[in-house]
Amino acid sequence: MIDSFRQRRERMIQLKARREGKESDVPRKHIGKAVFGKCPDCGAMVPKTELARTLYVCPKCGYHHPVGAYLRLSMLLDSKSFRELDEKLSAPNALKFPGYDDKLQAARKSTGLTEGVVTARGKLDGRMAVFAVMDSRFLMGSMGVAVGEKVTRAVEYADRAKLPLIIFTASGGARMQEGILSLMQMAKTSAALARFSRNGGLYISVFTHPTTGGVTASFASLGDVTLAEPGALIGFAGPRVIEQTIGQTLPEGFQRSEYLEEHGFVDQIVPRGQMRETLSLLLQLHEKRGGEEHG
Amino acid sequence: MAEYTPGQKVAIARHAGRPGTADYISALFTGFFAQKGDRQCREDPAILGGVALYKGRPVTVLGHRKGKDLQENMTYNFGMPGPEGYRKAQRLMRQAEKFRRPVITFVDTPGAYPGLEAEARGQGEAIASTLAMMSGLDVPVVTIVIGEGGSGGALALAVANRVLMLEHAVYSVLSPEGFASILWKDSGKADQAAEVMKLTAQDLVALGAADEVIPEPPGGAHENPQAVFVAVDRALSRALDRVVREGDFAQKRYEKFRGMGSLYTGRDKS
């Protein structure tokens, strides 16, 4: 009975991940029978089957294509260990913002997601953890009330269950259509993480491309350990706004993962192919050993 | 009383003659001792803060500082702090907790500074850690939005037990110009943005993001600063008494921000 539930859940995540792989943002091109993905960075044409094998990293230049939340989870979790949290949670159009309801519906339809973040419990290399994975395809991964609430609930779940928390960020920042309530999610998520931290919880934050605005200025920057995928755009203000403000062109590589590492805001840059083993090591290094203390 | 459109309120909130943090500090507090510097890198004059006496009792008071003219505004960077400003704010608030004094903050900023060096020194991290730290402070915290409260740069000084707003103050996820630029690719549509953003004090109270509106004299605070000082003093004193009476400062503040925004859980029929 329990097994069949697990199998069904497993089939669901596999199905959703496969769909995301098929419909990922990688620009497609059909040549003969094969489908090729074009790398926006170096222009290389790579068969989609190979991209799936390289975890959507360009084999020529190492460009990391953005990936959907379920696809990301399927790259990380042990099979049959996935359990989604608060799957149906959403928020009303509190400001009655014109056109917002339609925009949400369209995003739901095109992505198959309810909101811009998927939260789950699952095992990574045999160790249980709580995950929140943002999806930039859903209204730029912007944070409104629902995203803030799902992240906060994931933090609280990890706190209660005494589990490590791993968050993959990808967001344009606060969701404009929910106005001041979006802004308040920055305080809500940060307050929950402060509490989790005081209670001894481990939080690993992973920046992926792009992470800017209110998400950078709240939960994304509060990790005990902070990782980033190579080449990700990470910042508070977007590059366009900065250029307009200071009236000059920004240097090459500004606000990229490597720049943040150099300036002391990222522990390590981890390529996607090594993410799982890196997280596994971090979980092992922080494992609480029942009552045993260093003498 | 005259009714103003949200766009007009934005203009009043930004009026050059509107009293700012420094004016409130000298009108409402005595013995103000300014504390400068983040102890890591530099002093950010866009945030003014220190210790002072409020009704004879020591408090930590801080807020965004705008200038009255171009010269002052260049010095104070138009009230837009860099990471150092937020790190100084953290230093001051930690001291407030250590010495058991309430924290009073004044919010008046277009937003945190979007500049190259601000990014290089971690504007995002500075705001995030200020939010996290402020949320857990075990002393009373009262915030008054006196002018414009723009985005995370405003919120970083506003994780308070009580958030009060002047009648014509505005507080929003982004400046109306930035909002129009993001959503409609046209920063000229700021007035239209102000209409839909729900950024007035009255809107914020209705949405639960602010607690109370402090009335302003006809025409706005700059028309009669003395009257505003009296009104703010009265509201602040009442808010502080109330927070002290309720006790359990960190827990109460946590609950306040935990409850921001209503939800569909997927179980309700809607």
φ/ψ (deg, to 5) at B101: -120, 150
Q: What is the ipTM of this complex?
A: 0.96
Residue from the list B124, B179, B209 with its beta carbon closest to the beta carbon of A235: B124
The answer to whether B264 contacts A86, with C-beta atoms less than 8 Å apart, is: no
Residue from the list B128, B171, B178 with its beta carbon closest to the beta carbon of A180: B171
Average predicted confidence (pLDDT) for chain A: 92
Both tokens of A63, joined, read 């460009």
Separation of alpha carbons A32 and A125, rounded Å = 40
Cβ atoms of B118 and B42 within 8 Å: the answer is no
Q: Residue B204, by phi and psi: left (phi above 0), alpha (psi -120 to 50) or beta?
A: alpha
Chain A residues 184-243 with a CB less than 8 Å from chain B: 184-188, 190-195, 197-198, 213-214, 216-222, 234-238, 241-242
Residue A198, burial from CB neighbour count under 10 angstroms (0-12, 13-18, 19+): exposed
**B173 contacts in chain A (CB < 8 Å):** 174, 176, 178-180, 182-183, 214
Which strands sit side by side in the sheet containing A83-85, from one edge to the other? A83-85, A117-124, A127-134, A165-171, A203-211, A225-228, A268-269
% of chain B exceeding 70 in pLDDT: 97
The answer to whether A184 contacts B209, with C-beta atoms less than 8 Å apart, is: yes
Separation of alpha carbons A278 and A249, rounded Å = 36
What is the β-pairing status of strands B30-34 and B47-54? antiparallel
Kindly report the length of chain A.
Answer: 295
CB-based contacts of A157, cutoff 8 Å, min separation 6: A85, A119, A121, A130, A163
Nearest-Cα residue of chain B relative to residue A89 = B265
Handedness of CA B202, B206, B208, B209 (dihedral sign): negative
Q: How far is B28 from chain A (nearest CA, A)?
A: 28
Q: Can you list the pairs that A45-49 forms with residues at least 24 positions away whose Cβ atoms lie under 8 Å?
A: A48/A21
Q: What is the mean pLDDT of residues B106-118?
A: 96
Residue from the list B136, B178, B198 with its beta carbon closest to the beta carbon of A194: B136
Give the global pTM. Answer: 0.95
pLDDT in single tens digits along all 295 residues of chain A? 556 767 777 777 777 888 787 766 666 777 777 788 899 999 999 998 899 999 999 999 999 999 999 999 999 999 989 999 999 999 999 999 999 999 999 999 999 999 999 999 999 999 999 999 999 999 999 999 999 999 999 999 999 999 999 999 999 999 999 999 999 999 999 999 999 999 999 999 999 999 999 999 999 999 999 999 999 999 999 998 899 888 889 999 999 999 999 999 999 999 999 999 999 999 999 998 765 555 4
Q: How far is B255 from chain A (nearest CA, A)?
A: 9
Both tokens of A27, joined, read 């620009």
Separation of alpha carbons B169 and B9, rounded Å = 7
φ/ψ (deg, to 5) at A228: -145, 145
Q: How far is A224 from chain B (nearest CA, A)?
A: 12
Nearest-Cα residue of chain A relative to residue B181 = A241
Cβ atoms of A201 and A159 within 8 Å: the answer is yes
**A188 contacts in chain B (CB < 8 Å):** 257-258, 260-261
Separation of alpha carbons B32 and B21, rounded Å = 12
Q: Which residue, among B151, B68, B63, has the nearest Cα to B108 in the 3D structure?
A: B63
Separation of alpha carbons B223 and B228, rounded Å = 9
